[in-house]
Amino acid sequence: MTGSRRAQAATEYLIILAIVIVIALVVVGAMGGIPRLGGSTSSRTSASYWQQADIGITASFFNTTDGSIVVKNNLPYKVRIDSFSIGSDYTAVSASLPRSLASGKAATVTFTNASALVAGDVSYTVTATYTNLDSGLGPYSFTGDERLIGKIQ
């Protein structure tokens, strides 16, 4: 009788341990701890950040010959975007601007020298210079806290 209770207790212990291990693997995978299983977490974080940034990016398309982004003014006043660059010292890409945007409005910006971009998975610093058109103050420079992560074809 006591041997049967020990066996039952051992079996229950092993089942609970297996469940805990499975849950731990799912959590680690979802947080990007296992490559390929949660690898898109950083790109989702980047996209979320850039949609909410002061000068936001709601969509982007780049290949090695041309490119465009949809820029959104998330500030509470009208701005004129004077310059916009994507890249570091090696792959600076400057947009054809200036462009005025009311608060909450978006516009497509086409890049003039996207051939400087390298094909493949990319992670770039983004910097925008803008002027507050409601007050006339500026220009202000905004560099994102997150890198823009995506794919160039």
What would the pLDDT profile of 126-140 be if each residue is shown by its tens digit? 888 899 999 989 899
Same domain assignment for residues 122 and 87: yes
- Are 130 and 138 in contact by the 8 Å Cβ rule? The answer is yes
pLDDT at residue 90, rounded to an integer: 45
Separation between Cα atoms, residue 20 and residue 86, nearest integer Å: 44
Buried (b) or exposed (e) across 27-59, using 16+ Cβ within 10 A?
Answer: eebeebeeeeebeeeeeeebbebbeebebbbee
Same domain assignment for residues 5 and 78: no
Same domain assignment for residues 75 and 6: no
Domain encompassing residue 14: 1-39
- Give the pLDDT mean for 56-82: 85
110: amino acid identity, one letter: T
- State how many domains the chain has: 2
Same domain assignment for residues 9 and 54: no
Q: Is 113 a residue whose pLDDT tops 50?
A: yes
53: amino acid identity, one letter: A
Same domain assignment for residues 30 and 68: no
- Give the pLDDT mean for 111-126: 74
